[in-house]
Structure formats: C-alpha cells, structure tokens
A and B are shown apart, each in its own frame.
Chain A
Amino acid sequence: AQRVTQPEKLLSVFKGAPVELKCNYSYSGSPELFWYVQYSRQRLQLLLRHISRESIKGFTADLNKGETSFHLKKPFAQEEDSAMYYCALREDSGYALNFGKGTSLLVTP
C-alpha cells in the first residue's frame, strides 16, 4: 500500500512566486513526516521534519492529521530552490523512511 503520495511530478513557478509542494500520507498510527531535497548532482539531504516545527531556507511544512497532509510551502521561491523534493514518512517505532515519488521543482527567472 502506498503510504506517501506526491501528486505533482513537476512543478514550475516563477521566481518570487509562492510555492506549495503537496504531500499526503496514509498511516493510522503516529507517523513522523520529513521533507528531503536533492539538488542537482548532490545527495539526498533532510530539509525539515514535522517535529522540529522550524523554517529552513524559508520553507515550512505543517502536519495536518485531519487531512493527512504535510505540504511544503515557501512564500517567495528562489532559483536556487530548483531541486527534487521528496516527502517521507517514518512509522512510529520503525526504522524505514517511506518515500513519495518526488516532485521536481523548477523556479524560472
């Protein structure tokens, strides 16, 4: 069963525009949600996690248990935000990260 859904394969926005990358999950327990980012020719790296409740590089994400969503948002996109973004879920007391298929964000000038 697919636990993490990222409906957009590609998202293209203009520099300065708001951006929202969608992530929905299916899990009945208490998951931990993450956003990982992979810039061109770089490794996967953690962008943020829901328990931290912090903003990284201007990005925020709020866990909405009612809608089972963890959308990633930034009010003003920058060209350097262009990358592949992966939403991931870790089940309570689990080790594995369950990834979505990823969304490629392209920010154009």
Chain B
Amino acid sequence: EPEVTQTPSHQVTQMGQEVILRCVPISNHLYFYWYRQILGQKVEFLVSFYNNEISEKSEIFDDQFSVERPDGSNFTLKIRSTKLEDSAMYFCASSSGTSNEQFFGPGTRLTVL
C-alpha cells in the first residue's frame, strides 16, 4: 500500500541555521500539507499546497517558512533561521482531494540546539 515518506527521521540543527525537511507524498495525490506537533501539545496545521501554490496557511506559517515542490515527487518544508521553539515533530500529509482522507507520513523530529 502506498505511503507518505519523510526524510530525515530526526534532524538536529543549531539555532539560526536553515533546515529543509523532505516528503514524498503518495504518487497520485494532488494536495499536500505540513503539520507540526511540539512536544506535549496538539498537532497544528501549517500549510496546504495545491497546483504549485499555497492554498491555505496558518498564522504559524510566517516568512520563516516556505514550501516547494521541486520535482514531480518531493515536497519540502524550509525553515530559515531556526529558533529553539521550532523544535517539534513535523508531519507531511497528502490527499487526492480536499474532502478526501489525508494520509500522514511518519514525521521528522526537528531538534534545534
């Protein structure tokens, strides 16, 4: 059964550095999402992406963040100038339609030191 994959599983970075989190959505899906979960808190929506543009974003998704679909398979989340509070589990998800099930990846644990 096709699954969403994410790399790396754990990323450690120094405060102020840039990180790129990578996701490979399910191949025939058209809608892509990023969520994050700070330890002990709820899963929070960051952004959705369709047809090569952002379709919706939360107030968390400020200028520090950007998303890209650089090729036909990858979907990336870039975090510039990381802060301690960016430490979280970041989940990628994809769906075949807006009202269809969102399938989640296993997550990337980002630790900012």
- On whether the two chains bind one another, the answer is yes
Binding site for B on A (CB under 8 A): 32, 36, 43-46, 49, 86, 94-102
Bound state CA distance, A49 and B100, in angstroms? 10
Bound state CA distance, A95 and B58, in angstroms? 11
Say yes or no: B55 contacts A44, CB within 8 Å: no
Say yes or no: A97 contacts B42, CB within 8 Å: no
A38 to chain B, nearest CB (A): 9
Chain A residues, CB < 8 A from B43:
44, 86, 97, 99, 102
A21 to chain B, nearest CB (A): 15
Which of A86, A94, A96, A99 has the most CB atoms of chain B within a 10 A radius of its CB?
Answer: A96
Bound state CA distance, A86 and B58, in angstroms? 19
B63 within 8 A of A: no
Bound state CA distance, A44 and B48, in angstroms? 17
Say yes or no: B45 contacts A97, CB within 8 Å: yes
Contact with A along B3-46 (1 / 0, CB 8 A): 11000000000000000000000000001010100000111110
Say yes or no: B42 contacts A96, CB within 8 Å: no
**How many residues in B have their beta carbons less than 8 Å from beta carbons of A?**
25
Chain A residues, CB < 8 A from B102:
46, 97
Smallest CB-CB A-B distances: 3 pairs: A95-B48, A96-B45, A44-B104
B104's closest neighbor in chain A, by CB? Answer: A44
Q: How many A-B residue pairs have CB under 8 A?
A: 47
Contact for B104 among A32, A45, A94, A98, CB less than 8 A: A45
Say yes or no: A43 contacts B101, CB within 8 Å: no
- Given contacts A44-B91, A100-B42, A101-B42, whether A95 and B106 have CB atoms under 8 Å apart is no
Chain B residues, CB < 8 A from A97:
33, 35, 43, 45, 102
Chain B residues, CB < 8 A from A94:
56
Contact with A along B79-113 (1 / 0, CB 8 A): 00000000000010000001101111111000000
A99's closest neighbor in chain B, by CB? Answer: B43
- Given contacts A43-B105, A44-B104, A46-B101, whether A96 and B91 have CB atoms under 8 Å apart is no
Contact for A43 among B45, B99, B104, CB less than 8 A: B104
Say yes or no: A95 contacts B107, CB within 8 Å: no
